[in-house]
Amino acid sequence: MKQLFTFVKKEFYHVFRDWKTLLMLFGLPVIQIVVFGFALTNEIKKANIVVVDNAKDLASQQIIDKMEGSKFFSLQKTLMSSSQIDAAFKEGTIKLAVVFPVNFNTDLLHLNKASIQVIADASDPNTAITLTSYVSSIVGDYQAQLVPTSAIPFTIQPEVRMLYNPDLKGAPNFVPGVMAMVLLLVCVMMTSVSIVREKELGTMEILLVSPVKPLMVIIAKAIPYLFLSLINLCAILILSVYALDLPIKGSLLLLFGESALLIITALSLGLLVSTVTSSQQSAMFTSMLGLMLPTMLLSGYMFPIENMPIVLQLISNIVPARWYYIIVKAVMLKGLGFSAIWKETLILAGMAVFFLALALRNFKIRLE
């Protein structure tokens, strides 16, 4: 026991005396959360749109007022010809143009029918669809106001509710993703590098010629990173709650427990990497390449897994982040309990056991 304690203490010294490791350990998650939270977001805020009001009547004015009130748009009212609008799109200065025809109100009142031209820059289809749907809903709103409910005999009003994320914010999607990525990357990389470093520096040679058991080396290496990763997790959660306004709906304890499970899986994977690589660089490279891409692309947080070709869907099953992503979304966003995620938990636990057993089996008790 004392042996283990001293060993763990030594590992902590290594971490705290190497500012590069520390920076990576604590800098990476904070930077990722901040970057994803504030810079790289697919939410639409203050999109530049142009309104060409050729009608200048009551109806067009009222619709424009509604648009101006929306936080999604930054409105610019000009009189542009269609070629000028074309040019503005080509320059990329505007995302959307709304054109009211002459006699908009008159047509509306007398012919019971009027049209508005909505032109969107669909080179980014997501943005285009979102923006046009905003405009349609504003127009729809106005129309509903205009006509007394009794006037139209049959109306079907879809009551849309965006569950768990009513404002369609990006944070609920990427925070679980970033959590998975940071915990996996940091843990796998740190542990693999730390064992390989002992090989590279030759200290493994002395450790091998000592009564220390492989299991102890492995556990002692893992404990500090488990501990530091949990602190990391706290940092991510505090940031997401206070800086990104993303409340944790479910049990915090459950979230930590599940995260600890992912960390253990990642640590085991790191140990496995360390047993098959012989230099710090190749360990780093293997964990980066082998984890970064699958975690980002196949965990379901950037692209929905259901839409992938069947081969990728199958591969995604062995990506630990995929299961963790489901778990975090369930606990953090939906507030579900353990009964909803026991299957995913079991899969993660199985992976941890598998990796750890493989790492132990591969741990070389000799030099070659």
| Contact call for residue 137 and another protein (CB under 8 A) | no
Among 65, 141, 205, 245, binds another protein (CB under 8 A): 205
Q: Taking a C-beta distance cutoff of 8 angstroms, is the pair 362, 272 a contact?
A: yes
Q: Is 7 in the site for another protein (CB under 8 A)?
A: yes
Task: Determine if 34 is a binding residue for another protein (CB under 8 A).
Answer: no
To the nearest whole angstrom, how small is the minimum distance from the Cβ of residue 272 to another protein? 22
- The answer to whether 293 touches 302, Cβ cutoff 8 Å, is no
Specify the residue for token string 């230099």: 279
18 binds another protein (CB under 8 A): yes
Q: Which of 153, 158, 211, 304 binds another protein (CB under 8 A)?
A: 211
Tell me: does residue 17 bind another protein (CB under 8 A).
Answer: yes
Q: 165 vs 203, which CB is nearer to another protein?
A: 203
The CA distance from 248 to 332, in Å, is 5
Closest approach of another protein to the CB of residue 214, in Å: 11
Q: Tell me, what amino acid is at 165?
A: N
Sheet of 47-53, strands arranged across: 73-77, 47-53, 96-100, 117-120
Looking at the Cβ atoms of 143 and 203, the one nearer to another protein is 203
Q: Does 301 bind another protein (CB under 8 A)?
A: no
Helix axis angle for 252-276 and 171-201, nearest 10°, is 40
Three-state DSSP at 247 gives coil
Tell me whether residue 9 or residue 46 sits nearer to another protein (CB atom): 9
Please identify which residue in the block is written with the tokens 């427990």.
257
- Tell me whether residue 21 or residue 277 sits nearer to another protein (CB atom): 21
- Residue 341 three-state SS: coil
Tell whether residue 23 is a contact of another protein (CB under 8 A): no
The residue type at 180: A
Tell me whether residue 206 or residue 238 sits nearer to another protein (CB atom). Answer: 206
- Least distance (Å) between residue 201 CB and another protein: 6
What minimum distance in Å lies between the beta carbon of 7 and another protein? 7
Please report whether residue 22 would count as binding another protein according to CB under 8 A: no
- State the number of binding residues for another protein (CB under 8 A): 24
Q: Which residues lie closer than 8 Å to 283 by C-beta, 6 or more apart?
A: 189, 192, 193, 195, 196, 273, 274, 277
Shortest distance, CB of residue 225 to another protein, whole angstroms?
Answer: 17
Residue from the set 24, 80, 212, 336 that interacts with another protein by CB under 8 A: 212
Q: Which of 117, 136, 203, 313 is the binder for another protein (CB under 8 A)?
A: 203
DSSP string spanning 261-275?
Answer: HHHHHHHHHHHHHHH
DSSP helix/strand/coil, 99: strand
x/- site string to another protein, residues 172 to 201, per CB under 8 A?
A: -----------------------------x
From the CB of 254, what's the least distance to another protein, in Å? 37
CB of 365 to another protein, least distance (A): 8
Pairing of strands 96-100, 117-120: antiparallel
Q: Does 13 bind another protein (CB under 8 A)?
A: yes
Q: How far is the CB of 360 from another protein (least distance, A)?
A: 16
**In this chain, which of 153, 158, 202, 309 binds another protein, going by CB under 8 A?**
202
Q: Using the rule CB under 8 A, which residue among 91, 159, 306, 368 binds another protein? A: 368
Report the distance separating Cα 185 and Cα 183, nearest Å.
6
170, 177, 172: which is closest to 292 by C-alpha?
A: 177
8-state DSSP, 306: G
**CA-CA distance, 157 to 143, in Å (whole number)?**
13
**Closest by alpha carbon to 185, among 177, 175, 173, 196?**
177
C-alpha–C-alpha distance, residues 221 and 7, integer Å: 8
Q: What does the binding site for another protein look like in residue numbers (CB under 8 A)?
A: 2-3, 6-7, 10, 13-14, 17-18, 201-203, 205-212, 365-368
